[in-house]
Structure 1
Amino acid sequence: MNIRSAIVAFTAAAALAGCDFRSSDRSAAPPARPEVGVVTLHPRNVAISSELPGRVVASLVAEVRPQVGGIIQKRLFREGGEVAEGAPLYQIDPAPYRAAHDSAVAALRKAEATAPSAQAKVDRYQGLIKKNAVSAQDLEEAVAALAQARADVATAQANVASAKINLDYTTIKAPIGGRADKSSLTQGALVTAGQADTLTTIRTLDPIYVDLARSSAAMLDLRRAIDEGRVELPGRAVEVRLKLENGWVYPITGRLEFTEAKVSQTTGTVTLRATFPNPSHLLLPGMYVRAIVEEGVAPGGFLVPQRAVARNVKGEATALALGEDDKIEERVLTIGKAVGNNWLVTAGLGDGDRVVVEGLQLVRAGQQARGVEVVIDDASGELREREPTTAKIKAKG
């Protein structure tokens, strides 16, 4: 009896234990759906721009050289300072050129003195020939003498003008306005007309040019996008913004002037020129910059945060979207240019789609999840919750 009672007690205890296990299994709650941050997409017109390398170029450059020879008496400008167009820069010894001018003026007066006498002789002979008082040959010789006198006057006038030009050239003036470089010669130096060495260089810095380089392949892609209607040209002048070498953005917007009609055979690039106001002379020739050029507008485009886009094993761009039944779907995307911290998506997503931007490591395709609307800062690409009081999204890993 004792053995049988023990067996019965053991069997009853086992049955009760099995009942408790099954009861506990049935009462276990289903696992909670993971919470992910989503952004709802809507089509909009997206401004398309490109960032191109460039160099700053002076809008006008003049290399100053003497046009007459002589000894430099004075330098009349401040090195590195601003000079106005026509301002005197150097003074060359004018004495020999003033003497040449005075001599030319005297020769002109001499020629002008003989012209009236020759004219009077012609007038007199024309009256006498009617009376047969002089021969026709005498009249012809008088007319020829008058023509010679007039030619002598014209020659003397030209000599005076030439001498005056050379005398004026002894004062070397600024051909353009701008900033002058240092002087290569000092007072007392001998210069010659048209010498190879420049005296100084003047550069106009306001406005100033920026020459940009763009690949011919990118130009063809843009042309194709315009032809297919994916990009619309702006109806105004193309605006250009600059990033300087230190990362600072130049505060004044410029405009695109022209695109060269040739491709460099060595670099395969096309040169574009932009003009910028430069009142403070912050931009200097030779400075390296990067220009943001507006190319057009992509109508009805979708901007997807870059943090939401990944690559699959095929190398395709993909994103996770939350469907109507709260199931995660993997979408294969066709992406275009980067716009800030977003990708411009041209296919794979539609109006109202909810793209997962936070908690991507918590879910996979086909799994149900609970979406929380969030906002992505376009400038930094960082996530900001639309309602700070909602539960925070916890990303593991």
Structure 2
Amino acid sequence: MKFRKALFPFTFALALGGSLLLTGCDNNPANSNQAKLSTVNVQVFETNPLNYTVKVALPARVVASQIAEIRPQVGGIILKREFAESSNVTEGQSLYQIDPAIYQANYDSAMASVASAEASAKIAHLTMNRYKDLLKTKSISQQEFDKAAADAMQADASVLVAKANLNTAKVNLGYTKVYSPIDGYIGKSNVTEGALVSAGQSTAMAIVQKLDPIYIDMTQTATIFEKNEKERNQIYVPNEKVEIFFNDSRKYEYDGHIIFSDKNVNETTGTVILRAQFPNPNAEILPGMFLKPLLTLGNIENAILVPQKGITSDAAGNYTAIVAIPVPADQELTFIKETLLARLPKQDSESGMKENEQKAEQEALAIIKAHKESDKKDTPFYYFEKRNDVKVYAGISGYWIVTSGINAGEKVVISGLLNLSSIPNLNTPVYRTFANIVADPQSLTQEQLDTLIENSVK
């Protein structure tokens, strides 16, 4: 950085003819008849309002959006595998054929049972109808008619049982064809033709996984997750998206989005799961892969970033900073006069106080006159102001993200703080100190910030 002459010129001291002494750093009130105007050489950082994107890289594992473990619902011998391993299958596509012979026989037997039951029911109803006419002529007893009616009802029930058995046999026969319940990718088959399978076996015959869309399960510590939730809409404006970068630094062409955040904390790891969904038309992302996606939580608009060397902390742990404040041109006389007057010995008499007023005003006018005649006449006077209420959000690559206490466009002292640290109270006129800014202010551009963010999450 190119250095230049101090913005607050020392040359005007000569114009005072020795009546004003400029000191490199004077932190004691004047105790003589000569006022002292303290100055310190510093370098500053000029803040700019920037757009800070809150990003975090998280470990993650890829899982299929749907998983179907193919298991037989009836037992038997596998007659045929009807799909190509490591291929895509569609919902309803036949995968296996189990030997249907015994199930076909059971189905045929059940159909015969239904026919037999229906025939028996027909005879029972005919008998009941004949008995109904005979009952009218008192040719049979009431007891005989009641028995015939009960036999007819029992025959109807037998028909229902036979039909239920037929339906079961039909279902079991249908189960000898094993279909895919979803669209997806099917890997290797765990059984071959001739293998014996049983209903509800623990080992899947094959697994079908839906890969488009694909899920990315990210893990984040519960404390950080809770912190981010509290800061949502307070510190940053939510604008969530998820990006993936491959090992060769190539960015995946599609962005993902969060579909849910698990509210259960893993007792062992103290983490929660955040699930993102990505389009995966070309199956570039496969289940089981371990990735480190980049999660964007949102944006801090008009963020203020300050070098960490310009932010200190006091004994109570509060963040503080010292800012170089320009004196408005129309207030220079009043401001400098007030500073000089505070450093003159106090007078009890009215004449003494008036003498101090006149002396301070004369010296202030001399300072201003000398400044206007210098080659830095267009540069304002700067004084130091200590900020004790600085709030920071987070740090990134040597910078603090300041949320309050420092405003855009202000010049924060980043070099020369040691000379200012021993001054009791910069914010009072008696200890007020002026700044000699000895170099062009440093600053941070949006492009530089974006690079810092990118590098911090790699």
* TM-score, scaled relative to structure 1: 0.73
State the 1:187 CA deviation: 1.4
Deviations 1:69-100 (A, max 9, x none): 22211111111111111111111111221111
State the 1:299 CA deviation: 5.4
Kept in 1, the 8 Å contact 2:242–2:294? The answer is yes
Counterpart amino acid of 1:127?
A: D
Deviations 1:74-127 (A, max 9, x none): 111111111111111111111221111111111111111222222222222223
Q: Sort the Cα spacing of 1:179 and 1:222 in 2 relative to 1 into closer, same or farther, 3 A.
A: same
Kept in 2, the 8 Å contact 1:67–1:194? The answer is yes
Q: Distance in 2 between matches of 1:125 and 1:206?
A: 70
Question: What residue is the counterpart of 2:261 in the other structure?
Answer: 259
How do 1:1-397 and structure 2 match up within 5 A?
39-42=46-49, 46-226=52-232, 230-231=234-235, 234=238, 238-298=240-300, 300-304=302-306, 324=326, 325=381, 334-338=391-395, 343-354=400-411, 367-371=436-440, 376=445, 377-381=448-452
Counterpart amino acid of 1:131?
A: T
Which one is further off, 274-283 or 48-57? 48-57
> Unaligned stretches of 5+ in structure 1?
1-33, 383-397
Q: Distance in 2 between matches of 1:364 and 1:254?
A: 52
Q: Sort the Cα spacing of 1:309 and 1:95 in 2 relative to 1 into closer, same or farther, 3 A.
A: farther
SS of alignment partner, residue 268 of structure 2? coil
Q: Distance in 1 between matches of 2:452 and 2:412?
A: 15
Q: Sort the Cα spacing of 1:115 and 1:275 in 2 relative to 1 into closer, same or farther, 3 A.
A: same
Deviations 1:201-237 (A, max 9, x none): 11111112121222221133234435xx732553x7x
Kept in 2, the 8 Å contact 1:231–1:299? The answer is no
Q: Sort the Cα spacing of 1:334 and 1:189 in 2 relative to 1 into closer, same or farther, 3 A.
A: same
Which one is further off, 63-72 or 291-300? 291-300
Kept in 2, the 8 Å contact 1:326–1:370? The answer is no
Deviations 1:326-347 (A, max 9, x none): 7899988643235799642224
Kept in 1, the 8 Å contact 2:48–2:444? The answer is no
Question: What residue is the counterpart of 2:26 in the other structure?
Answer: none
Deviations 1:241-285 (A, max 9, x none): 334455433222222222222211111112222222211211211
SS of alignment partner, residue 146 of structure 1? helix
RMSD: 3.6
Kept in 1, the 8 Å contact 2:396–2:452? The answer is no
Q: Sort the Cα spacing of 1:166 and 1:92 in 2 relative to 1 into closer, same or farther, 3 A.
A: same
Kept in 2, the 8 Å contact 1:83–1:179? The answer is yes
Kept in 1, the 8 Å contact 2:310–2:413? The answer is no
Q: Sort the Cα spacing of 1:273 and 1:98 in 2 relative to 1 into closer, same or farther, 3 A.
A: same
SS of alignment partner, residue 279 of structure 1? coil
Q: Distance in 2 between matches of 1:245 and 1:342?
A: 29
Deviations 1:287-340 (A, max 9, x none): 22223334344455313478x768799999888866544789998864323579
Counterpart amino acid of 1:253?
A: D
Q: Sort the Cα spacing of 1:369 and 1:297 in 2 relative to 1 into closer, same or farther, 3 A.
A: same
Kept in 2, the 8 Å contact 1:207–1:276? The answer is yes
Q: Distance in 1 between matches of 2:142 and 2:404?
A: 101
Kept in 2, the 8 Å contact 1:230–1:298? The answer is no
State the 1:135 CA deviation: 1.3
Kept in 2, the 8 Å contact 1:320–1:329? The answer is yes
Give aligned-pair identity as a percent: 36
Q: Sort the Cα spacing of 1:313 and 1:80 in 2 relative to 1 into closer, same or farther, 3 A.
A: farther
Q: Sort the Cα spacing of 1:56 and 1:328 in 2 relative to 1 into closer, same or farther, 3 A.
A: farther
Q: Distance in 2 between matches of 1:340 and 1:205?
A: 38
Kept in 1, the 8 Å contact 2:42–2:436? The answer is no
SS of alignment partner, residue 291 of structure 2? strand
State the 1:63 CA deviation: 1.2
Kept in 2, the 8 Å contact 1:79–1:180? The answer is yes
* TM-score, scaled relative to structure 2: 0.64
Higher relative contact order (CA 8 A, sep 6+): 2
Q: Sort the Cα spacing of 1:256 and 1:381 in 2 relative to 1 into closer, same or farther, 3 A.
A: closer
Counterpart amino acid of 1:71?
A: I
SS of alignment partner, residue 248 of structure 1? coil
Q: Distance in 2 between matches of 1:328 and 1:147?
A: 105
Deviations 1:361-389 (A, max 9, x none): 9x99755323267664333349xxxxxxx
